[in-house]
Amino acid sequence: MVRTKKSRDAEYRLRAFPVTDAESGHTSLALVVETIKEFVSFHYEVLLSDTREKNQVTLHILGLHAPSSVMPGVGPARGIRRYDNLSGPVRVIVRKVDGEENMFKLRVRLPAVQLLAAPPHPFVMFSTEPIELPE
The predicted-structure confidence for 74-91, as pLDDT tens digits, reads as follows 889 999 999 999 999 999
State the Cα–Cα distance between residues 17 and 113, nearest whole angstrom.
6
Count: domains in the chain: 1
Q: Give the structural domain span for 55.
A: 12-127
Q: Please indicate, yes or no, if residue 83 is contained in any of the structural domains.
A: yes
User: With 80 as the cut, is the pLDDT of residue 135 above it?
Assistant: no
Buried b / exposed e across 52-69, counting CB within 10 Å, b at 16+?
eeebebbbbbeeeeeeee
Confidence band of 55 (pLDDT split at 50, 70, 90): very high
Mean pLDDT within 50-58: 96
Q: Please indicate, yes or no, if residue 6 is contained in any of the structural domains.
A: no
Q: Please indicate, yes or no, if residue 111 is contained in any of the structural domains.
A: yes
